[in-house]
Structure 1
Amino acid sequence: MSGGNLICTTTVLLDTGMVAMREPVTELLLDTAAGPVAVTADCANGKCTAVAFHNVPSFVFVLDLPVEVPGLGTVSVDIAWGGMIYAIVDATKITGGLKIENRNGPKLIEIGERIKQAVQQSDFVPVHPDNPQIRGVSILEFTEPLTGSASTGDLTAVNTVVVSPGRFDRCPCGTGSSARMAVMHARGQLQVGEKFQHRSIIDSSFECWIEGTTRVGQYEAVLPVVKGSAWITGFRQVGLDPTDPFPVGFRVGDQWHVADDA
């Protein structure tokens, strides 16, 4: 499941006419790797202007898990499900404090990968209670402390998600936002119906809120909603020549660290 990609996919489906648009609101149900996700798309003048997706129930496996990270010492990690299993770390509490901004990009990537690997090698292995094949932390989210308050309507949070082997999610991350809402709710920082702005490393923003609560196995869970916008920037045409010696493509390990046997 990817929230940012789901917003993009919905926008493409509606703006290109692959799925019929109904103004002012089009409702869709999309199948994802994490389960069915309902979508409410704002539409005007033949354009999808914003997409809100009602994500799968999200919950916390553990708060403040101490993890020993080589070179960093003990790092406090929250582990939560938001469509992927996240390790969530406050960037301001490691190595003297790191601000989530482009100039710190290489350091955030390097430290984020180290923390994630340490979590994956620890004794704590999160397993989704409804699907035991979903197990183990697969992605890491750096956060900064909240600013503003829900009561005054200006609650804001900053995050960036590190995608292996070393890339940032450019958007505020839909599943990461959902996992963070589960953590915020567990800490009493966000209640049902309260909204906050989740901002990314490039300062783009999702509007996020909790529309209800439920249970997933033994875990208290929230029903998160994430809303954002996307724009079509180009179209690509792919062809296959019958004489092409690489009809299924190829991989080179210079960027994505492809294994020798891949």
Structure 2
Amino acid sequence: MKPELSIQLMDTHAGGDVSRIVTGGIDPLPGATVREQMEYLREHADGLRRLLLEEPYGIPEMSVDLLVPATDPQAVAGYIIMEVMGYPIYSGSNTICTATAVLEAGIVPKREGKQSFMLESPAGLVQIEATIQNGVVETIRCEGLPSYIHTYRDSIDVPGLGRVTYSVAYSGGFYALVDAQQLGFDLTLDEERRLAETAHAIVEAIRAECDFSHYTLGDVGPLPFLHYMGPVEKVDDGFYRSRSATYVHPGVICRSTTGTGTSARLALMNFEGSIRPGNRLETVSLRETGFTGEFSGVEQVGEYQVVKNHITGKGYVITRSDIVLNCDDPMVSCDGLHHILSSRSGE
């Protein structure tokens, strides 16, 4: 009989964004670091990403996180993030979901109260602080990438919209930041489709005219993301709240506000002098879910004020499952995939 090919999964979500954690079925990847393993996957085995994000197994709104052995001895596990637009080197919601899965799978045994461990992302080591109550992972607090404002209040002509004012932040990817009210949005769920269409038009206009380069990473590709900002409300001393929505791909508004989108907001608030170290911002999504970003500190790197930050959220396990791959199925493409799949004999 043909060997049966299967992939072991733990589906999770944080803030509504589904992250499909691959816990087994994939052979070790070459690469001295998780970043190098990500690059190998991107260049030589992108079929895994497509398989798990396209019919019949998935949808573009999902993300996939492949657990891999850590290459840094300080980390308990590594993970590679895969999304419909490609391979981001970091994501807050994916990190929260991966940390939750690592605990739920027993890779890190749960302990009551607070416990800390390291994960290795393609961007490097990430410090995780988990809060466990009665055996339940109640919160995950993770480091956001150092974030900064690259462009402040520029404007561009957008077909069908006119002149649009935007800023650009880097927080793990480049984000266009726009005022939702100035574009006529209240950031409610019924606006979701129009938000995606408007964001796509703005991003395409910016991409046609502008290239952005990170001060150490250099060229990280064209602008991928847009973050809608609602009004900022002061909830308490040092604690703010704002409705938010993040566009990541044509037709796709994230169900959460995203961790990197929240980090980008902190960078803008610091740039405008409206937030201080120790202050927190809760971003609230179209579905009334939220992440809380904490402004940890700032340092001047060349011309940029680089914001250190942490993101807190909660991950939920949705299902544990095996995907059985039948490469004879006309709906399934196994191209560029066989060489990384583990196999076991059929019954």
TM-score of the superposed pair, with normalisation by structure 1: 0.87
Could you tell me which residue of structure 2 aligns to residue 131 of structure 1?
217
Could you tell me which residue of structure 1 aligns to residue 168 of structure 2?
79
What percent of counterpart residues are identical?
Answer: 28
Q: 1:111 to 1:240 in 2, by over 3 A?
A: closer
Q: 1:220 to 1:242 in 2, by over 3 A?
A: closer
Alignment of 1:46-57 (within 5 A): 46-57=135-146
Q: How far apart, CA to CA, are the structure 1 residues paired with 2:327 and 2:214?
A: 45
Could you tell me which residue of structure 1 aligns to residue 74 of structure 2?
none
Shift of 1:129: 1.1
Q: How far apart, CA to CA, are the structure 1 residues paired with 2:335 and 2:324?
A: 12
Could you tell me which residue of structure 2 aligns to residue 194 of structure 1?
279
Match of 2:306 among 221, 224, 246: 221
Match of 1:120 among 207, 223, 246: 207
Alignment of 1:12-23 (within 5 A): 12-23=101-112
- For the pair 1:203 / 2:288, whether they are aligned, the reply is yes
Alignment of 1:1-262 (within 5 A): 1-94=90-183, 97-122=184-209, 124-148=210-234, 151=237, 153-241=238-326, 246=332, 248=334
Q: Deviations over 1:106-139 (max 9, x none)?
A: 21111110001011111x3221111113243111
Q: How far apart, CA to CA, are the structure 2 residues paired with 1:71 and 1:150?
A: 40
Q: Is the CA contact (8 Å cut-off) linking 1:130 and 1:216 kept in structure 2?
A: no
Q: Is the CA contact (8 Å cut-off) linking 1:112 and 1:162 kept in structure 2?
A: yes
Shift of 1:239: 2.1
Q: 1:25 to 1:149 in 2, by over 3 A?
A: closer
With 233-242 and 174-183 compared, the bigger mean Cα shift is at 233-242
CA RMSD of aligned residues (A): 2.0
In structure 2, what residue type is equivalent to 1:221?
V
Q: How far apart, CA to CA, are the structure 2 residues paired with 1:197 and 1:128?
A: 26
In structure 1, what residue type is equivalent to 2:303?
Q
Q: How far apart, CA to CA, are the structure 2 residues paired with 1:129 and 1:103?
A: 39
Which is strand-richer, 1 or 2? Answer: 2
Q: How far apart, CA to CA, are the structure 2 residues paired with 1:240 and 1:197?
A: 41
Alignment partner of 2:324: what SS?
A: coil
Q: How far apart, CA to CA, are the structure 2 residues paired with 1:30 and 1:168?
A: 27
Could you tell me which residue of structure 1 aligns to residue 24 of structure 2?
none
Q: How far apart, CA to CA, are the structure 1 residues paired with 2:275 and 2:217?
A: 27
Alignment partner of 2:276: what SS?
A: coil
Q: Is the CA contact (8 Å cut-off) linking 1:36 and 1:56 kept in structure 2?
A: no
Q: Is the CA contact (8 Å cut-off) linking 1:15 and 1:46 kept in structure 2?
A: no
Unaligned 5+ runs, structure 1: 251-262
Which structure is higher in RCO with an 8 Å CA cutoff and minimum separation 6? 2
Q: Deviations over 1:71-98 (max 9, x none)?
A: 211111110011111001111102xx11
TM-score of the superposed pair, with normalisation by structure 2: 0.67
In structure 2, what residue type is equivalent to 1:205?
G
Shift of 1:216: 4.0
In structure 1, what residue type is equivalent to 2:155?
P
With 132-141 and 98-107 compared, the bigger mean Cα shift is at 132-141
With 36-45 and 65-74 compared, the bigger mean Cα shift is at 36-45
Q: 1:243 to 1:102 in 2, by over 3 A?
A: closer
Could you tell me which residue of structure 2 aligns to residue 254 of structure 1?
none
In structure 2, what residue type is equivalent to 1:195?
R
Q: Deviations over 1:188-229 (max 9, x none)?
A: 111100112111111111122111112444311110111010
Q: Is the CA contact (8 Å cut-off) linking 1:198 and 1:206 kept in structure 2?
A: yes
Alignment partner of 2:277: what SS?
A: coil
Unaligned 5+ runs, structure 2: 1-89, 337-347
In structure 1, what residue type is equivalent to 2:124?
G
Alignment partner of 2:195: what SS?
A: helix
